[in-house]
Amino acid sequence: MTELHGKYGKIKMNKSKFWSGKKVFLTGNTGFKGSWLTIWLDMLGAKVYGYALKPPTKPSLFEQAKIWRLLHGNTTADIRDYPTLLKAIKKVKPDIIIHMAAQPLVRDSYIIPRETYEINVMGTVNLFESVRIYPYPRVVLNITTDKVYENSERLEGYKENEPLGGYDPYSSSKAASELVTSGYRSSFFNSSRFHSSTHPFISSARAGNVIGGGDWAKDRLIPDIIRAIIKDEKVFIRNPYSIRPWQYVLESLNGYMLLCEKMYKGEDKYAGSWNFGPDEKDLKDVKWIVKRLLSKIKPNKGYKIDKGRHPHESRFLVLNTDKSKKVLGWKPKWDIETAIDKTAEWVNDYQSKKDVLEICQKQIEEYGK
């Protein structure tokens, strides 16, 4: 058991000291996953520097947990602003860059397709161009999505070497972000071609549908349920029989951090694309998720299926995580029942007016045991 000192306290966790003192440049740090990752990295002793717009939702986990107190530096700017991004990276001189800044919503991508492509594609180009010109970081990890695959609506999980695609602007923009990552890696950060032992190691991570407390995004299942409960309203759900690779937010973040650690140690086999998702036994449809969550948060008004017309969304989406398990040694720790229960626990603690940062730290500590 290692005792680690975050900026706001002392935490005991079963983790190595790898992150202690590392400078991490995190884009999109004001979002749901970025906020959780900032808390975790701080608990591990890392120095986190943020680059993001203001929090994308109200309320937001970033503001509720006062996460700005954990940052060693923060730039409020758009990922499309290349000069500001380059200047920020030069100033920080990070050891590791984790790229989460994105337009993350499928339904919004139908409304603002041009902006979606500009953020998700050119934002990625701006990041890698900054690293190409100023190659200080040892590791760069681009966070994309499970939706980058050419989805044939099958129940067999997609592997990292299968064709990329995307029906909607969000999915296709993230697939394009994957191609940008691959293109920069092979063209500019390829040790076998350039015979350099100091080049950054570049990877992308494709995670399943993450759930957890503190997600207040619109048009996403769990936040929609929680908002309805808080407002004492009935939950309306779309596509009740759609299956997604649901997993607790800490599962994917654990995979990201493990991958960064492996890349930092300098082996080319870790530079590439990686899936992080639940085990096959934990694949559940929307209706199951709703009923489980409602059973854990009382009182509530129940749910009703929304039979209106909605933009296209895939019915089946499953990831194959064999590569991450065999090569990285990563595996899910919390099954789907635990993931739902921990989400409900977060919401119940939040409604009991407990300190939000402490709620998150407690769950991270429990996960790390």
Summarize pLDDT for 40-99 with one digit per residue, the tens.
999 999 999 999 999 999 999 999 999 999 999 999 999 999 999 999 999 999 999 999
- For 213-228, what is the mean pLDDT? 92
Q: What is the model's pLDDT at position 3?
A: 47
Percentage of the chain beyond pLDDT 70 is 91
Give pLDDT, residue 234: 92
Q: What gap in Å lies between CA 12 and CA 169, rounded to an integer?
A: 43
32-43 helix and 249-264 helix, angle to the nearest 10 degrees: 60
141: in domain = yes
Structure tokens at 267: 């082996």
CB atoms near residue 266 (< 10 Å): 15
CATH code (residue 181): 3.40.50.720
In this structure, what token pair is assigned to residue 336?
């789907």
Paired sense of beta strands 73-76 and 47-52, if any: parallel
pLDDT of residue 310: 62
Give the pLDDT score at 314: 66
pTM of the model: 0.93
In a domain, residue 1? The reply is no
CA pair distance 3, 174, nearest whole angstrom: 38
pLDDT at position 311, please?
65
Mean pLDDT throughout 144-173? Answer: 93
Q: Is residue 28 part of a domain?
A: yes
Residue 11 within any structural domain of the chain: no
Question: Has residue 3 been placed in a domain?
Answer: no
Q: Does residue 8 form part of some domain?
A: no
Q: Is 142 helix (H, G, I), strand (E, B) or coil?
A: strand
The pLDDT tens digits for 315-325 are: 678 899 999 99
**The CA-based dihedral angle spanning residues 284, 285, 287, 293, taken in that order and rounded to the nearest 10 degrees:** 40
151 part of a folded domain: yes
CA angle centred on 252, ends 249 and 258, rounded to 5°: 135
The whole-angstrom separation of Cα 45 and Cα 20 is 4
Report how far residue 183's alpha carbon sits from residue 202's, in angstroms, rounded to the nearest whole number: 10
> Which amino acid is located at 241 in the chain?
Y
Per-residue confidence band for 1, with pLDDT thresholds at 50, 70 and 90: very low
Q: Which residues contact 1 (CB under 8 A, 6 or more apart)?
A: 12, 13, 14
Cis peptide bond prior to 299, omega within 30° of 0: yes
> Above pLDDT 90, what percent of the chain?
76
- Count of domains observed in the chain: 1
175-179, 191-195, 363-367: least confidently modelled range = 191-195
Which residues span the domain enclosing 82? 20-368
What's the pLDDT score for residue 195? 47
Instruction: Indicate whether 297 belongs to any domain.
Output: yes
